[in-house]
Amino acid sequence: MDPSTTAAPVALIVGAGDATGGAVARRFAQGGYTVCATRRRADQLQPLIERIRAEGGTAHGFASDARKEEAVVALVEQIESTIGPIEVLVFNIGANAPSSILDETASRYFKIWEMACFAGFLNGREVARRMVARPGDGHKGTIIFTGATASLRGSANFAAFAGAKHGLRALAQSMARELGPRGIHVAHLIVDAAIDTAFIRDNFPQRYALKAQGGIVDPEHIAQTYWMLHRQPRDAWTHELDLRPWIEKF
């Protein structure tokens, strides 16, 4: 049986971590989508998959190295052939690893680019190939890339991350201009903020203390914005949107 004619549409969340990615996965599941979530290790996905199912949603977890072309091609093929058509791709891999340019190694610089930029290309290309082949001339799907402050400006000790995020932003712009006329909504969402995560709590306690005042962004609120972008009418698509708490300087 062809799942594309019988199954609910799929939201593929690449990089479904404990904060933003997991919240996005849950929001799309609440909206009736079958969620396919990926991380490098499948066991790390279990709490998220179990939570989605407990909330009445449908979810599948996949271990996948988003930097490897063969793995990405196989993942998309598996989902399309056995679960359903991918209507939404959210690429949410971060790779935010600070280092002085004086100490940065070629191998780590390259790995950060692979994770935060090249992997976006691989996943975006494979899903877009499926989307453009859908019949009809309406909205054929949504691809959303997660950006960061580094998408807009490079900071000291973040040369590798900024280079990768600049590249991802350029990829999103190029894809939007090419694929928009073919029915695919490509968006780039810049999270210019500290996010409510264990990393911020443990490493930036003074900033985390501002949580009660709305000084750090809630992953659930970020997820709601992803949902809004996907639900936009075709005559009013947003390509780039930035989010930050009211106290954030920009």
Q: What is the mean pLDDT of residues 109-127?
A: 97
Total domains, the chain: 1
pTM summary value: 0.94
Is the Cα torsion angle 112, 42, 127, 243 positive or negative in sign? negative
Q: Work out the pLDDT band at 246, boundaries 50, 70, 90.
A: very high
Residue 249 lies in a domain: no
Amino acid at 113: W
Q: Would the pLDDT of 4 be above 70?
A: no
Q: Would the pLDDT of 149 be above 60?
A: yes
Amino acid at 195: I
d(CA 50, CA 59): 8
> Residue 144: its pLDDT value, please?
98
DSSP, collapsed to helix, strand or coil, labels residue 242 as: strand
d(CA 208, CA 200): 6
Please, what is the average pLDDT of the chain?
94
Residue 55 lies in a domain: yes
The CA distances from residue 16 to 25, 149, 247, in Å, are: 7, 20, 27
Residue 250 lies in a domain: no
Q: Would the pLDDT of 66 be above 70?
A: yes
Please give the residue range of the domain that contains residue 168.
3-243
Q: Would the pLDDT of 1 be above 90?
A: no
Q: Given the structure tokens 């894809």, which residue do they identify?
A: 175
The domain that holds 18 is classified in CATH as 3.40.50.720
Q: What is the mean pLDDT of residues 147-168?
A: 96
Residue 117 lies in a domain: yes
Q: What is the mean pLDDT of residues 126-134?
A: 97
> Residue 135: its pLDDT value, please?
92
d(CA 192, CA 245): 8
Residue 179 lies in a domain: yes
Residue 248 lies in a domain: no
d(CA 9, CA 230): 13
Residue 231 lies in a domain: yes
169 closest CA partner among 138, 107, 124, 211: 124
Q: What is the DSSP string of 191-208?
A: E-S-BSSHHHHHH-HHHH
